[in-house]
Structure 1
Amino acid sequence: MFIVRRWWERYGVQVFFSVVVLGTAIFLRQTQGVVLSEIYYWVFRPLQPNELPEKQLTDARVEELQAKLSELEQQNETLKGLLDYVEGQKLEGVVAPIVGRSVDHWWQQVTLGRGSQDGIKIDDVVTGPGGLVGRITQVTPNTSRVLLSSDPNSRVGAMIGRSRQMGSMRGDGSDRAVMEFFEKVPDVKKGDKVLTSTVSRLFPPGIPVGYVESVDLEKSPAPEVIVKLSAPMDYLEWVVVHPFKSK
């Protein structure tokens, strides 16, 4: 008994604290630290901002939903305008969203989220708010690629609406294009409307293209004008694809 008492006097305190620490560790592990988190919360609560984390999360969620609602309303207005545009056209059309666009080819081509499964074919005509956008050059079952009329490689048979003077238009890699005339002294002036030509082989006649911004009748080898494109190529989100058979 004397030996046990002396051992306890020497090691009892260490054993007691070891048991307490071990028991506490086991308890915290079993409870996943919930009690410790609660103690931390109540001890440091006076130091926290007045606004609780739950309120901050709720406010953030509300802002997210408001942003999504605003975007949906904007898309709805855009789509409604396109549907009204389609109804006003004589040609049949498939509304297609723009789902791809390269920064390096911003004014040259776009990718649509519609393809052969939707009836889209190569050489179909693409229009949008403002008029001519381009034509289809590649098609997959679910996507298609558009050569924009702003691409320098694009060629559009065009005419001046007022005088019916005809020529060929090529893109300028921007929201403008260059139109060259077949006649040496064409009847054209600043502000004239430009449409697709009645003799065009790639596009049906009468589609709005833009308006004459400047005129250079002295240009060699043929007079040319700078045409401001009427379709907003730089921020289009939706277009309309029309079936068209070349002549």
Structure 2
Amino acid sequence: GWVQSYGSRCVKPPVIYGDVYRPAPMTVRWAEYAQKLSSKWVKGMLTGPVTILQWSFVRNDQPRSETCTQIALAIRDEVVDLEKAGIRIIQIDEPAIREGLPLRKADWEGYLQWAVRAFRISASGVGDETQIHTHMCYSEFNDIIQNIADMDADVITIECSRSQMELLDAFADFKYPNEIGPGVYDIHSPRVPSKDEMVSLLEKARSVIPAGQLWVNPDCGLKTRHWDETKKALTEMVAAAKVLREYVEEAVTL
């Protein structure tokens, strides 16, 4: 049946009643087609194993960790095929990794061990030259930041614009070893932010995260936005990224 995601957005979660496997490629044809239309890298986009598990009705005759591993192996097949198709950046989203935490804190470590392992399995079939990204929504990261680092994604993108970059503090205090893309505009609003607003947010991000680790991106996916809003906002975002690059280059040459 239909389940509310947020607002008027509803979904029909899958029912997992048996073993999970991938009978055929899911996204490869369209990703390959999109890449042929651009001289720039096109990112492959997949949902991670823990998030698929959390957002499904899951069989209860085996441990959730076992089902999650099966999902991870199916995703790995897709990731490998995307790489073979020439996709060199592949994002495996895990926005639900925190919501899967058990109610008893004593059980957290066991869950996080198999959750991190499932993510690493899903990304394990590609070469070092292929970038693995992940994405997480608004969340408290402080108490699971080591586990997020253990996922070993090359880049993590997080929703940050509404918090005015405060969520980056956990990554800065921990000295997160990989690269971070803090969201610079709220994709849930039709409002198009200006270049200057995004530059201001990026300057806040640069004050806690080294410039060499920063990526520039929206908060999340853009499926809720109209084309006109999307194009205008992305144009402003690209302009903001160019301004920040100029700031960094000037600082290096001084």
TM-score normalised over the length of structure 1: 0.24
More strand by share: 1
Higher RCO, 1 or 2 (CA under 8 Å, sep at least 6)? 1
More helix by share: 2
Pair member with larger Rg: 1
TM-score normalised over the length of structure 2: 0.24
